[in-house]
Amino acid sequence: MIFGLGYTASRIAAAIRRHGWHIDATGRDGNIAFDDGAAVAKALAGATHVLSSVPPDRDAGVDPVLARYRKDIPATWRGYLSSTGVYGDAKGAWVDESSPTGTGRRTARSEADENWLKLDARAFRLPGIYGPERSIFERIAKGQAKRIDMPGQVFSRVHVDDIVAGVVACIESNAPPGAYNLADDLPASQNAVVEEACRLIGTEFPPLQSLEEADLSAMARGFYAENRRVANGKAKRVLGWAPKYPTYREGLASLRVRE
């Protein structure tokens, strides 16, 4: 049973189906409406594995899946697609699964992450996700790519296919409950990603701007307010996982080839 069959979860579902699994899901492409309590309860009753990709409600600050269906979720395999935003600002330092959470701007996400872990879930903490039809190439094409003059600012990211591989590896290995960072091996500045993408398609770099000149949305400004490097060693050790795209360079090159 998958709650929230969106960009990432739909790819996880496709991979699991190839292994012969039956999947019920809510979301745009799911077969069950989230508010259909009877249908959801029936699906949960027959589920061996439950995965949620539903973020906390921004207004209420609560996890809608746990708020409504917590008592119905079976005590089997539980998974949650969380965010490395739970670590907050580390001033460029490395964070791992033992690092403190709940100190950043995503307090609702941190609370949801904690509540899923209390249910013995596997919380997959994800940094910036990119992949087919959702990458810097699309922003360049729309004239929305920016280079911000913030020396020392880095982010971690992960290709969507590597998230899929990590979740599948966790299921197949029956890895223990707990948090798992699924991130690539090379935290890097957004400027480096923009510049590499521009090189791949042979276009000029966007101008270098200050944060004020860039006129970013409040959400985007919050993105730049945090600076951290996300370690993935636990996922490699426990899940036997390694990213197919260990850096943004391989990831962007693969997307360019698909075009």
pLDDT given for residue 141 in this prediction: 94
Q: Which of 132, 219, 232 is nearest to 187 (CA)?
A: 232
**Tens of pLDDT, residues 46-100:** 999 999 999 998 777 899 999 999 999 998 999 999 999 999 999 999 999 999 9
pLDDT given for residue 246 in this prediction: 98
Residue 111 host element (H or E) = helix 107-118
What is the rounded distance in angstroms from the CA atom of residue 176 to the CA atom of residue 173? 9
List the single range of 84-98, 100-114, 223-237 with lowest mean pLDDT.
100-114
- Do 94 and 181 meet the contact criterion of CB atoms below 8 Å apart? no
Residue 9 has pLDDT above 80, yes or no: yes
Residue 140 has pLDDT above 80, yes or no: yes
pLDDT given for residue 257 in this prediction: 62
Token readout for 225 is 């307010």
- Do 121 and 78 meet the contact criterion of CB atoms below 8 Å apart? yes
What is the rounded distance in angstroms from the CA atom of residue 72 to the CA atom of residue 66? 9
| Domains within the chain, CATH numbers bracketed | 75-258 (3.40.50.720)
- The percent of residues in the chain predicted with pLDDT above 70, rounded, is 99
What is the rounded distance in angstroms from the CA atom of residue 106 to the CA atom of residue 120? 21
Residue with tokens 């998958």: 2
pLDDT band at 223 (very low <50, low <70, confident <90, very high): confident
pLDDT given for residue 107 in this prediction: 87
pLDDT given for residue 221 in this prediction: 81
pLDDT given for residue 218 in this prediction: 79
* Amino acid letter, residue 8: T
pLDDT band at 251 (very low <50, low <70, confident <90, very high): very high
pLDDT band at 134 (very low <50, low <70, confident <90, very high): very high
Residue 251 host element (H or E) = helix 248-258
- The percent of residues in the chain predicted with pLDDT above 90, rounded, is 87
pLDDT given for residue 258 in this prediction: 57
- Pairing, β 49-52 against β 77-83: parallel
**Tens of pLDDT, residues 159-200:** 999 999 999 999 999 999 999 999 999 999 999 999 999 999
